Amino acid sequence: MNNNLSNIKKSKYFLDKHNCIGMPTETVYGLAANAYSSKAISKIFKLKKRPKNNPLIVHYSSLEMLKRDCILNENFTKLYNKFCPGPLTFILKLKKDSKISKFVTNKKKTLAVRFPSHPKAKGLLKILNYPLAAPSANISSRVSPVTRNHVKEEFGKKIKYIIEGGLSKIGLESTIINLTGKPEILRIGSIDINKLSKALKKKLLYRKKTYMKVPGQNRLHYSPGIPLRMNCKEASKDEAFILMKKRNNSNKNFFYLSKNKNLKEAARNLYSVLRMIKKKGYKKIAVEKIENKGIGLAINDRLQKASKKNK
Ligand code: TXA
Ligand code: MG
């Protein structure tokens, strides 16, 4: 049997039995389960130690299936046509007769939905007759996983199966846009906000305070578990130093996100580098200034959250 096919069949076997699996996506790896099964969804919350009031994103591969659960609108159609499948999550109104487990939404009347573009996620979603709820596959408040091994590090044998999908291409979580009223960005990701504005023919603003409307975007988030400071020119010897550009000297506390200030490359490497630093036993992190444009905005956003409070 073709390897891909057997991956997907195995995943279906576990998912049909209300279990969670690790699923690669182009943003980060997700901890996936049947969004219609309360039994499966409660396992996600337990494994992640996630507060019950923090709703999940549900992943689809077809509009037909989405239409059974959500009320679509014009803004959704404009963005869907331009950006899907891809790293964009929509908040939509939930239909009254939707089969989505009430644990997914914490009984809210809205649902976060996404169409991932990773071929393995797409292939899997296509053969299922239910959508997959999938938060990032990490213990709550910690750094998201971008490889299969990272997911193993988080949950070990507690999950039945993890699909191998290589390094996540983007490396940061999806952009979240609320479309239940006036469009509003709730979480910044890899997509340029100007491109979203253009597709909607409306200027979108990204205001940090809208984060407060997203239960999961509290400050204690994306935490590497040790103190982190930003915009540093130099670091002390006992600090891991995260760099964007090649330095002439070399030092064992140097960790490169990029050697030539490439922001996309830096985003892709960020979570792996944070994990590596933690593993090497560093107790503190200093980060060189990262340009606040394009995906740099999203990198700085995650670093700011990581630097706020550390467990
Ligand atoms: O890239 C991604 O979005 C990844 C991959 C696996 O798809 N998933 C992900 O899920 O980042 P998670 O659970 O780590 O983050 C989802 C965020 C949370 O902050 C949650 O509070 C917010 O989405 N959210 C979910 N449903 C919502 C809703 N109905 N209204 C507002 N925010 C919502
Ligand atoms: Mg997460």
Instruction: Sort 291 into a burial class: Cβ within 10 Å, 0-12 / 13-18 / 19+.
Output: middle
Kindly report, residue by residue over 232-241, the tens digit of the pLDDT: 999 999 999 9
Q: Share the mean pLDDT of the chain.
A: 93
> How far is the C-alpha of 287 from the C-alpha of 29, rounded, in Å?
24
- Tally of CB atoms within 10 A around 3: 8
Ligand 1 atom nearest to 87, measured from its CA? 1
Nearby residues of 5 by Cβ (< 8 Å), 6 or more positions away = none
Task: Tell me the backbone φ, ψ of residue 43, rounded to 5 degrees.
Answer: -65, -35
Q: Is the pLDDT of residue 301 over 80?
A: yes
Kindly report, residue by residue over 19-60, the tens digit of the pLDDT: 999 999 999 999 999 999 999 999 999 999 999 999 999 999
Please give the distance, rounded to the nearest whole angstrom, from the Cα atom of residue 167 to the centre of ligand 1.
20
Ligand 1 atom nearest to 144, measured from its CA? 14
Residue nearest to atom 13 of ligand 1 (CA): 135
Kindly report, residue by residue over 170-211, the tens digit of the pLDDT: 999 999 999 999 999 999 999 999 999 999 999 997 776 555
Task: Tell me the backbone φ, ψ of residue 302, rounded to 5 degrees.
Answer: -65, -40
Q: Residues lining ligand 1, judged by CB closer than 6 Å?
A: 25, 27-28, 30, 54-57, 89, 91, 108, 110-112, 114, 134-136, 173-174, 176, 186, 214-217
> How far is the C-alpha of 111 from the C-alpha of 301, rounded, in Å?
24
Residues with a beta carbon under 5 angstroms from ion ligand 2? 136
> How far is the C-alpha of 262 from the C-alpha of 293, rounded, in Å?
11
Q: Say what the pLDDT of residue 306 is.
A: 86
Q: Is the pLDDT of residue 307 over 90?
A: no
Closest ligand to residue 217's CA:
1
Q: Say what the pLDDT of residue 38 is.
A: 98
Q: Where are the domains of the chain?
A: 5-200, 228-307
Q: Say what the pLDDT of residue 14 is.
A: 98
> How far is the C-alpha of 245 from the C-alpha of 289, rounded, in Å?
10
- Determine the average pLDDT of the residues in 1-29: 91
Q: Say what the pLDDT of residue 225 is.
A: 82
| The CATH number of the domain covering residues in 5-200 | 3.90.870.10
Kindly report, residue by residue over 128-151, the tens digit of the pLDDT: 999 999 999 999 989 999 999 999
Between the two ends of the chain, the Cα-to-Cα distance in Å is: 46
Closest ligand to residue 25's CA:
1
Q: Is the pLDDT of residue 3 over 80?
A: no
Which tokens is 229 given? Answer: 């400071």
Q: Say what the pLDDT of residue 219 is.
A: 53
> How far is the C-alpha of 2 from the C-alpha of 16, rounded, in Å?
21
Ligand 1 atom nearest to 89, measured from its CA? 3
Kindly report, residue by residue over 84-128, the tens digit of the pLDDT: 999 999 999 999 999 999 999 998 999 999 999 999 999 999 999
- Determine the average pLDDT of the residues in 235-250: 96
Please give the distance, rounded to the nearest whole angstrom, from the Cα atom of residue 141 to the centre of ligand 2.
7
Q: Say what the pLDDT of residue 141 is.
A: 86
* Numbers of helices and strands, H then E, in the chain: 10, 14
Q: Which of 131, 169, 126 is nearest to 147 (CA)?
A: 169
Which tokens is 195 given? Answer: 């491109």
Q: Which of 145, 141, 146, 214 is nearest to 176 (CA)?
A: 214
